[in-house]
Amino acid sequence: MDFRSTELAKVSRLDTFPTLVDDELAVEEPLEIRILSPSGGEHAVAVALRTPGDDFDLAYGLLITESLIDNPNEIVYIAWGEPADFNIVKVGVDSELAFTRISKVSPRFINSACGLCSKTTIDEITKSVKPITSSIQLGRLVLTKLPELLSEHQSNFERTGGVHAAGLFYANGTSKVVREDIGRHNCVDKVIGNILRNDKDWIESLSQLVLVVSGRIGFEIVNKAAMVGIPIIVGVSAASSMAIALANSLNITLAGFTRPANSTIYSGFSRIV
């Protein structure tokens, strides 16, 4: 299905003289995620502002990284709203018990700048997430090439300059999945959700992949990676103090300011060879 991720708009461009021109914009629309019980009960858990496309991946990723669902195996089906409403995703769970647990959560509004909704402290996260013990190692030459490899998949950014990207890469630099979105955390949920949806052995798969993001690395990015056991995060820009503290506490390798010739390693240097 071809979703509209960009649109044209008339804008005034100031040069020597003002000129009315067409400009390509990144689309931002709400996506409502609803949970359905086996008996037909329904509960809206979140409304996320996102760029349309890969919305099933987004729903899977968000439900897991926000701890709304404990395991992707609880999801038995996923479908669009009706009739043909592509701004609603309905997620069926496998038991009334799971639905009852999830329905106790008040609906959340997740804007395109904020991706941390259910956890607020490092202590709270480390109580539920074990330190990561992945055996993956990442060569220095591959590390410094990863942002460039990510940019090869950023076609919407080239056209609009208004979207972020995230990708999961193998240690040899080969891409597994890359997604773009107006929200940096949505990109992360989309790539994580893609693995959760399509790989039965997702725990092992994610433990051998590198998450690459196109911007800064905030606490919410590290939190989402930690929830599914991703061992290495690489960013084009800086990492925040809380992101670094969380990465250190969970043995996550965190690299920022990554360029073709250098990178700043904030934590987990032992995985870089």
CATH code of the domain containing 230: 3.40.140.10
Residue 195 falls within a domain, yes or no? Answer: yes
pLDDT of residue 118: 44
> How much is the CA Rg of the chain, to the nearest whole Å?
19
For 122-162, what is each residue's pLDDT tens digit? 777 776 788 999 999 999 999 999 999 999 998 887 788 78
pLDDT of residue 2: 54
For 2-15, what is each residue's pLDDT tens digit? 577 888 888 888 88
Which candidate, 156, 181, 160, places its Cα nearest to that of 51? Answer: 181
| Residue-range definition of the domain harbouring residue 261 | 140-271
What is the enclosing helix (H) or strand (E) of 193?
Answer: helix 184-198
Catalytic residues: 114
Indicate the pairing of strand 164-169 with strand 210-213: antiparallel
Say how many CA atoms lie within 13 Å of 51 toward its Cβ: 28
Residue 172 falls within a domain, yes or no? Answer: yes
pLDDT of residue 154: 87
Residue 105 falls within a domain, yes or no? Answer: no
Residue 184 falls within a domain, yes or no? Answer: yes
Number of domains, the chain: 1
Indicate the pairing of strand 232-235 with strand 253-256: parallel
In the predicted model, what is the mean pLDDT of residues 95-104? 90
Q: Is the pLDDT of residue 117 over 50?
A: no
In the predicted model, what is the mean pLDDT of residues 89-93? 96
Q: Between vectors from CA 237 to CA 166 and to CA 174, what angle results, nearest 5°?
A: 40
Q: Is the pLDDT of residue 195 over 90?
A: yes
**CB distance 232 to 251 below 8 Å:** no
Residue 57 falls within a domain, yes or no? Answer: no
Residue 246 falls within a domain, yes or no? Answer: yes
**CB distance 162 to 25 below 8 Å:** yes
Residue 198 falls within a domain, yes or no? Answer: yes
Which candidate, 112, 96, 132, places its Cα nearest to that of 58? Answer: 112
Residue 89 falls within a domain, yes or no? Answer: no
Helix axes 219-227, 241-249, angle to 10 degrees: 20
Residue 30 is encoded by which pair of tokens? Answer: 């709400």
Question: What is the DSSP annotation of 139-188?
Answer: -HHHHHHHHHHHHTT-HHHHHHS--EEEEEE-TTS-EEEEEEESSHHHHH
